[in-house]
Amino acid sequence: MQKVLVLGLLGLCSIEDMKYRRLTIIYILLFGIIGVILHLFAPVCSIYSILWGILLGLVLILISIVTRQSLGMGDGILLAVTGVYLGGSSNLELFLCGLFLSALCSLGLLVLKKKKKTDEIAFVPFLLLSYVFMLFRGV
């Protein structure tokens, strides 16, 4: 159930990120509340792991504030919520794999001269792709 919710959240946010270049925080927080309620009845990981997962999102929110939104704050909020569902190590894996995939895509777009180095790309679709890889791997 929780895997389907994370997949749905990342899918919804991916479409929104590609189309509007922003994320609706209300939906993300609603998924976060649902995740907390689900963990009360069917815990998947420890509370400490959940807190570590949320911490990754909080660090990204702080980076967003310090860099004046060079990294979107919505991405940090989204990763805090995925931390509720995935826990610390899986959330870190999700983020790092998404970062790697976005770097590969950005490099390809630069080489093909489709984008300039100052252009922005949507990050959430890479998180979705990363999560799909994780699901096929069996996380």
Residue 137 has pLDDT above 60, yes or no: yes
DSSP code string of 62-73:
HHHHHTTSSS-H
| Residue-level pLDDT at 131 | 97
3-state helix, strand, coil in the chain (%, to 5): 80, 0, 20
Residue with tokens 């990763």: 79
Which of 65, 61, 97, 63 has its CA nearest to residue 77? Answer: 61
pLDDT 10s digits, 8-21: 999 999 999 999 88
| Residue-level pLDDT at 89 | 94
Residue 71 CA to residue 59 CA, distance in Å, equals: 11
| Residue-level pLDDT at 139 | 56
Q: Locate 50 and state its tokens.
A: 């959940």
pLDDT 10s digits, 55-88: 999 999 999 999 888 788 999 999 999 999 999 9
**Against a cut of 0.85, is the pTM above it?**
yes
Quick check: 79 and 95 in contact, CB under 8 A?
yes
